[in-house]
Amino acid sequence: MTGSLRKSLDEGPMNRFQWAAVSVCVLLNMLDGFDVLVMSFTGKSVMAEWDLSGAQLGLLLSAGLVGMAAGSMLLAPWADRIGRRPMILLCLAIASAGLLLSSVSQSATQLGALRIATGVGIGGILASSNVIASEYASRRWRGLVVSLNSTGYALGATLGGLVSVVLLAEFGWRAVFLFGGVATAAGIPVVFALLPESLDFLLARRPARALDKVNRLTRKLGLPTLDHLPAAPVVQAGVGAGFRKLLSPDLRRASFLLWAAFFLVMAGFYFVTSWTPTLLTKAGLSTAQGVTGGTLLNLGGIFGATLLGLLAARFALRSVLIAYVLSTAVMLDVFIAATSSLAAALVLGAAIGVAVNGCVAGLYALTPIIYDSGIRATGVGTAIGIGRIGAIAAPAVAGALLDVGWTPQSLYLTVGVVFAATAVLLLLLRPAVAAEPKPAPATSAQSTN
């Protein structure tokens, strides 16, 4: 967005219309939390019905993440061409169809293909919803808004787990997928009613009746209407142009640093969330205590992203994110040693949940700052897609290392080093984050409506 409209959104208070748009984005991210773990919730039942091996179940567990990586990287760039909102609606239709059809799948092969298709839809939703949330947030609250978006993941995973327990006991694993498909389809009318197209996209791409659409939004935002559109920014044609722009001389360094940071953080996040219950058991805790530790870790995640956003409202986002990354590294390095005391292990597990979820939320919040409106969805989607590759690889690599004799302590130490390396990448990113907004001083004019 150009000129006074962007300045007005950045410096003004956030009204109910903006918070409603953010709330829809949070709900969309809850779908991610449910879909990532739906196979974990139902895996034992699916394995029993089709007599699957552990390796076959592992492929089903990875299929959704493969689809998400593909959706983030391949569909997100089209959001910079056709609009964020239309892309979200299309991807909701894809994801809901994939989940509904999964509930009637007749073989592991069919279910695996449908998990990939569902993941493609979820991946496209995530990139676009994070961009819209960021674009409708004021400068002061942008970090909190994108962090709340990430909190949706933890909420979706937690609520999805509770619902799945009931449905599995009463109706079997197919009912869990059916529930997910219906819930995802229900998001379509919600998006139609409450989620606006981004002003940045309308001003950059100039679709039909762009001025009318812009003025309709400015009235809802409490901003003056326009007599004419401002001068159009230079936007390269073609989806491939967005990828080329990410690697242009002025953005290449920032893009590579962001991609590496996403890969490392998402790898560390999925290692922690996937392996913690099992590794706590290997370290000497009972199975129930290991599960409790994993649950507390996920519950901590609900608060971690929100806390990061609140801190980012007062301090520079990049600095807050570096503090989170380093805190995660330190806690991971002492985590397994703390299992000699159950209370200490559980408290530290919850704290790690707070920190590691905040790391993911911080990267989601930082990425839209780097790229202009013409390639923002492409930039965010590509970063998320590369992060998903790390997410796919990390649990498998951890399992292979355990097979060759690595201890839980050595694994957590290694992942701690991964997070410390991410802090170095973020420090190197500093010259490239020229556009990072500085937090505005707290004044009465910046209170929410």
Summarised one tens digit per residue, pLDDT across range 145-154 is: 877 777 787 7
Between CA 90 and CA 395 the distance in angstroms is 31
Between CA 241 and CA 257 the distance in angstroms is 20
Confidence of residue 446 (pLDDT cuts 50, 70, 90): very low
- Quote the percentage of the chain above a pLDDT of 90: 18
Q: For every residue of 415-439, which 3-state class applies, written as one string? A: HHHHHHHHHHHHHHCHHHCCCCCCC
In the DSSP assignment, the letter for residue 338 is G
Average pLDDT over residues 117-137: 85
Please provide the distance, in angstroms rounded to a whole number, between the alpha carbons at the two ends of the chain.
23
Q: Which of 54-58, 121-125, 200-204 has the highest mean pLDDT?
A: 121-125
* Of residues 6 and 117, more confidently modeled: 117
Average pLDDT over residues 255-282: 83
Q: Which of 96-110, 186-200, 280-294 has the highest mean pLDDT?
A: 96-110
Per-residue model confidence (pLDDT) at position 188: 93
Q: Which two tokens stand for residue 237?
A: 């044609």
Per-residue model confidence (pLDDT) at position 447: 35
Q: Which of 101, 89, 99 is nearest to 64 (CA)?
A: 99
Per-residue model confidence (pLDDT) at position 177: 92
In the DSSP assignment, the letter for residue 283 is T
Per-residue model confidence (pLDDT) at position 357: 84
Between CA 333 and CA 202 the distance in angstroms is 47
Q: Which two tokens stand for residue 149?
A: 């978006």
Structural domains of the chain in order of their starting residue, each with its CATH number: 1-230 (1.20.1250.20), 238-433 (1.20.1250.20)
The HSE-up count of residue 424 (CA atoms within 13 Å, CB side) is 8
Between CA 359 and CA 320 the distance in angstroms is 9
Q: Which two tokens stand for residue 188?
A: 């379509």
Average pLDDT over residues 216-244: 67
Q: Which two tokens stand for residue 40?
A: 């974990």
pLDDT of 278 higher than 70: no
Q: Which residue is it, tokens 């985590």? A: 335
Q: Which residue is it, tokens 């990390």? A: 394
pLDDT of 8 higher than 80: no
Average pLDDT over residues 136-162: 78
Neighbours of 43 (CB within 10 A): 17
Neighbours of 346 (CB within 10 A): 20
pTM: 0.74
3-state SS class at 233: coil
3-state SS class at 259: helix
Q: Which of 30-39, 239-248, 349-358 has the highest mean pLDDT?
A: 349-358
Q: Are 18 and 137 in contact (CB under 8 A)?
A: yes
Per-residue model confidence (pLDDT) at position 198: 79
pLDDT of 102 higher than 90: yes
Q: Are 80 and 374 in contact (CB under 8 A)?
A: yes
Per-residue model confidence (pLDDT) at position 430: 64
Between CA 349 and CA 332 the distance in angstroms is 9
Between CA 121 and CA 32 the distance in angstroms is 10
Q: Which two tokens stand for residue 384?
A: 């998320």
Q: Are 151 and 306 in contact (CB under 8 A)?
A: yes
The sign of the dihedral angle between the CA atoms of 343, 345, 349, 355 is positive
Per-residue model confidence (pLDDT) at position 289: 66
Between CA 161 and CA 138 the distance in angstroms is 34
3-state SS class at 393: helix
Per-residue model confidence (pLDDT) at position 287: 60
pLDDT of 310 higher than 60: yes
The HSE-up count of residue 220 (CA atoms within 13 Å, CB side) is 19
Per residue in 327-341, pLDDT tens? 999 988 887 777 667
Per-residue model confidence (pLDDT) at position 99: 94
Per residue in 411-444, pLDDT tens? 889 999 999 999 999 999 864 454 444 444 443 3
Per-residue model confidence (pLDDT) at position 117: 93
* Of residues 376 and 291, more confidently modeled: 376
- Mean pLDDT of the residues in the chain: 80
Average pLDDT over residues 248-273: 89
Per residue in 380-407, pLDDT tens? 888 888 988 888 888 778 878 877 888 8
Question: Any idea what the Cα angle at residue 149 is, between residues 239 and 160, rounded to 5°?
Answer: 110
Q: Which two tokens stand for residue 138?
A: 């004021």
